[in-house]
Amino acid sequence: MEYQGEEIYLFNPVVCHSCLHKLCESYSTQCANCGGCIPPFSQVGILKGNDGQKKCVHMTISCTTVGSAFYGYWGKGQLRDFIQIEACS
C-alpha cells in the first residue's frame, strides 16, 4: 500500500488495506528533515531537541543526518524502543 508517497509493507500486525489506511491517517507523524510522512510501524532515526524533545526522521540516507546515534520504532502515535547506538572505537 502507498500512503502520502510512502510505501508500506506491514506483516505484524496483519490488517486489511482499509484498516491500514485508517491507522496511517490516525498515527502517522512528520519527518523533521524532509517534512514527509512517517507511517506507523516504521523504524525511525531520532533527533534530540531542546527541552527533551525528540523528533523523528526517515531511516534513509537523505534524511538521517550524519552523527545521528539514536533510533527507534514509531508505533501507534508514539515512539517505542528508543535506544542509542554505541560509537565504535
Q: Is the pTM of this model over 0.75?
A: no
Rounded Cα gap, residues 80 and 55, in angstroms = 13
Q: Which residues contact 62 (CB under 8 A, 6 or more apart)?
A: 33, 34
**Is 89 within a domain?**
no
For 2-47, what is each residue's pLDDT tens digit?
777 777 766 666 778 888 888 888 989 999 889 999 988 888 888 8
Q: Total structural domains in the chain?
A: 1
Residue 61 resides in a domain: yes
The answer to whether the beta carbons of residues 54 and 60 sit under 8 Å apart is no
Q: Residue 47: which domain range? A: 2-84
Is the preceding peptide bond at 39 cis, omega within 30 degrees of 0?
A: no
**pLDDT surpassing 80 at residue 89:** no
pLDDT computed for residue 30 by the predictor? 92
Q: How far apart are CA 27 and CA 33, in angstroms?
A: 19
Q: Is residue 9 part of a domain?
A: yes
